[in-house]
Amino acid sequence: MDGLGLPGSSRRERVLAHVDMDCFYAACERQREPALRGEPLVVGMGYEPGETHGAVATASYEAREYGVESAMPITDALERLPRKVDAVDDPERDVSEAGFYRPVELDYYESVGRDVKAILHDTADTVREVSIDEAYLDVSDTVDWSEARAWATDLKDRIEASVGVVASVGLAPTMSAAKVASDHDKPDGLIIVEPGEVRDFFAPLPVEAVHGVGPVTARELAAMGIETAGDLASADPDRLDDAFGERGREIRRFARGEDDRDVTPKGDPKSLSRESAFTEATEESETVRRRVRTLADAVADRARRQEARYQTIGIKVVTPPFDVNTRAQSLPGPVEDADLVESVALDLLTEFDGAAVRKVGVRVSNLDFSAGQQASLDGFETTDDDGPEPGEGRAVDQAPLGAFQERAGTDRVADGDRGGQTTLDEFG
Ligand code: TTP
Ligand code: MG
């Protein structure tokens, strides 16, 4: 986090999201076999069609209603939920009370997981991938609490429309609260826990909801009369210290909603961006241009500090009511050139001269963190291993700098107003 402090506060409340796909393996099977939608579905590890060996990897929410759960032997699952094919042939069984069973096919689920992650990286600069179906995002730079719900709804819609699986999302100012929030209203959940609400949100939950509290600790806490996160938050710290040492104080801090952990990406970010909203939509081109110049400068500075070169420079222009327009130009090779970020951004902006603008953003992407010389205008090597981001074209190798490849996109998003809270101070 750089220079984001609002006047008078040591640290701006972060906007963190935890995204976890619903019954992921089952959702992947349904994505390629839509007839399975709405049906009880069990995906078995070490399972083969018609056989009874293996264990449940996951069960659809319909199958969970029959008591089928992850890690259960398939034999137990079959007792609770027989196979449809078996029920059809068995007059003793009711087909409507039976389900479908499929073997795990991990390669396929991983490819679906990658598609979801690509959307997450396109949406947020800071993404920590935790597992095949789960990630944390830090969107403090681009999403204000007033628009958190609209942003999360749009993200869920994008994932479902383009990948065909459903995500549950939690937003909160801490990682642990965001994780609990994403789980709280599954499936198809969306819970926003705003700053100041974290402790109240945790209070009624069982202690297991607190980060760092597993079943063993929960049992020990229960023996001490501590059953909810609220009990833990108000427990005597010395007593916890006696029972668990420093970890006791730590789980108490988590229960109180105190969690300073940052979302640290495992790899390098896929893009860097800054956005800023106007208090009211403005049609004054010069005002918009001035803001874009400031944002371009801030983004270029951030890239310089992270030693990232970029091959694509883009802008985002939000026009009333909630139309998000993105324009981007790709360079023939990665550069680090603040003046170019500004001139390309302003050039892309001319299309919106005279339009009412609520919010603008500048983004650099197709990032290159490899050490080495800045690309010269002739004879550079393309170092983009990851390929273009969604919605962006791959740069044309060996094209002269003037011959930008351009890709444009327009999409609609419910996108609230930051209410002019963004000040130039934020971009320093
Ligand atoms: P989870 O996110 O824990 O579970 P889920 O996505 O199936 O269901 P939920 O809606 O509660 O998020 O795990 C993701 C995938 O990991 C899951 O689809 C299958 C796999 N998995 C196993 O193989 N074994 C297990 O014991 C668990 C818990 C998950
Ligand atoms: Mg999941």
Ligand 1 pocket, residue 25 CB under 6 Å: yes
For residues 263 and 276, state if they share a domain.
no
Those residues with Cβ within 8 angstroms of residue 315's Cβ, 6 or more apart along the chain or in another chain:
292, 326, 327, 328, 345, 348, 349, 360, 361, 362, 363
Q: How far, in Å, from the CA of 258 to the mean position of ligand 2? A: 25
Q: Is residue 184 part of a domain?
A: yes
Q: Is residue 414 part of a domain?
A: no
For residues 198 and 137, state if they share a domain.
yes
For residues 261 and 315, state if they share a domain.
no
Looking at ligand 1, which residue's alpha carbon is closest to its atom 3?
A: 23
Residues 369-386, mean pLDDT to the nearest whole number? 40
Q: Is residue 364 part of a domain?
A: yes
Q: How far, in Å, from the CA of 182 to the mean position of ligand 2? A: 10
Q: Which atom belonging to ligand 1 lies closest to the Cα atom of 186?
A: 10
For residues 165 and 59, state if they share a domain.
no
Residues 246-252, mean pLDDT to the nearest whole number? 92
Looking at ligand 1, which residue's alpha carbon is closest to its atom 20?
A: 57
Q: How far, in Å, from the CA of 260 to the mean position of ligand 1? A: 27
Q: Is residue 416 part of a domain?
A: no
Looking at ligand 1, which residue's alpha carbon is closest to its atom 23?
A: 57
Ligand 1 pocket, residue 101 CB under 6 Å: no
Tell me which of 57, 72, 98 is where a domain ends: 98
For residues 154 and 292, state if they share a domain.
no
Whether 412 has a pLDDT exceeding 70, the answer reads no
Q: Per the structure, how many domains does the chain have?
A: 3
**pLDDT tier at 405, thresholds 50, 70, 90:** very low
For residues 256 and 275, state if they share a domain.
no
Q: What is the per-residue pLDDT for 122?
A: 85
Q: What is the per-residue pLDDT for 275?
A: 87
Ligand 1 pocket, residue 58 CB under 6 Å: yes
Q: Is residue 419 part of a domain?
A: no
**Ligand closest to CA 60:** 1
Q: Is residue 3 part of a domain?
A: yes
Q: What is the per-residue pLDDT for 242?
A: 93
**pLDDT tier at 428, thresholds 50, 70, 90:** very low
The least confident of 8-22, 134-148, 270-284, 357-371 is 8-22
For residues 261 and 346, state if they share a domain.
no
Q: Ligand 1 pocket check: which of 58, 133, 166, 188 to mutate, most ligand atoms within 8 Å of Cβ?
A: 58
CB 256 within 8 A of CB 233: yes
Q: Could you tell me which residue, 186 or 390, shows the higher pLDDT? A: 186
**Ligand closest to CA 186:** 1
**pLDDT tier at 186, thresholds 50, 70, 90:** very high
Looking at ligand 1, which residue's alpha carbon is closest to its atom 29?
A: 57
For residues 262 and 278, state if they share a domain.
no
For residues 14 and 44, state if they share a domain.
no
List the CATH number of the domain containing 55.
3.40.1170
**Ligand closest to CA 21:** 2
Q: Which domain holds residue 283?
A: 271-408
Q: Is residue 30 part of a domain?
A: no
Whether 145 has a pLDDT exceeding 50, the answer reads yes
Q: How far, in Å, from the CA of 56 to the mean position of ligand 2? A: 14
For residues 114 and 11, state if they share a domain.
yes
Q: Token digits for 215?
A: 């079943």
Residues 275-299, mean pLDDT to the nearest whole number? 94
List the CATH number of the domain containing 166.
3.30.70.270
The least confident of 44-53, 215-224, 370-379 is 370-379
Tell me which of 73, 98, 123 is where a domain ends: 98
Q: Ligand 1 pocket check: which of 70, 74, 117 to mutate, most ligand atoms within 8 Å of Cβ?
A: 70
For residues 178 and 206, state if they share a domain.
yes
Q: How far, in Å, from the CA of 104 to the mean position of ligand 1? A: 12
Residues forming the active site: 134
